[in-house]
Amino acid sequence: MSNPALLLLQDVLDEPKLIDWEWIKDNFWEDIVPAIQGHIFLSVISVAVALAIALPVGILSARYRKAYPPVTFVTGVLYSIPSLALFAILISIPGVAIGPSPVIIALVAYSLLILIRNTVAGLDSVPPETKDAARGMGLTDRQILFRVELPLALPIIVAGIRIATVTIIGIATIGAYINGGGLGTLIFDGIGRQFPTMIIAGAVLATALAIIADLLLLALERYLRPWARVRRT
């Protein structure tokens, strides 16, 4: 047994069970389902709050160009702070207790850059002629924004939501470390108990959740881009 690769293989084979199906069956309703629900809750709330901030900021940045570079700078710095570090910084602030709130704040901070960038890119993609035509038809600025620009920008905004959601679902797993709940709880408990089944269940379900969200939002993106669909067929 001098070959290290063989030793490694032996280790895996010696593992009594990589996936203990009994455990999954026994703990499905108490542990796994609440973890999935918690994860969806964290992700949906975070994306919703982030959108409520990013849409107005994006619309304003598209209008007042001077504001755009500082906005991308601040959100860019937030985006590049590693999540575990951001969680640690947030819970160091007096009055912020561990739990879902700092996790949601951090997840919102991470999605801002992507969402604002795509909102601005979406609004920029509306041809000036289209806006001129709308103005010629007698629409006010506000009507142009809501009836022409935003609907046309929507596919690009949704593309941003898609990237942000997938990113958030991944980072949310780390939030379990500061008691944020979600599927990361299974992963951390699995590491703590040296129990591979929990690690694998958490990892696989978090990945599956991210892929499902990705596909659903991709479908939405396609649906919102009827002109692209027509070309395809």
Contacting residue, 72, 96, 188, 222, with other proteins by CB under 8 A: 188
Q: How many CB atoms lie within 10 A of CB 132?
A: 11
Q: Does 99 bind other proteins (CB under 8 A)?
A: no
Site for other proteins in 190-219 (CB under 8 A): 190-191, 196, 199-200, 202-204, 206-207, 210-211, 214
Locate tokens 């990705």: which residue? 214
Residue 131 near residue 162, CB atoms below 8 Å? no
The stretch among 99-107, 139-147, 176-184, 223-231 that binds other proteins (CB under 8 A) is 176-184
Give the dihedral of Cα atoms 26, 169, 105, 45; nearest 10 deg. Answer: -80
- Among the residues of the chain, which ranges form H helices? 4-14, 21-27, 33-63, 68-80, 83-92, 100-124, 128-136, 141-143, 150-175, 184-193, 196-223, 226-232
Contacting residue, 52, 89, 133, 216, with other proteins by CB under 8 A: 89
Q: Does 6 bind other proteins (CB under 8 A)?
A: no
Contacting residue, 99, 135, 139, 170, with other proteins by CB under 8 A: 170
Q: Does 113 bind other proteins (CB under 8 A)?
A: no
State the Cα–Cα distance between residues 233 and 225, nearest whole angstrom. Answer: 13
Q: Does 174 bind other proteins (CB under 8 A)?
A: yes
The stretch among 48-56, 112-120, 145-153, 170-178 that binds other proteins (CB under 8 A) is 170-178
Q: Does 177 bind other proteins (CB under 8 A)?
A: yes
Pick from 58, 76, 192, 188: nearest CA to 125: 58
The stretch among 113-121, 122-130, 136-144, 165-173 that binds other proteins (CB under 8 A) is 165-173
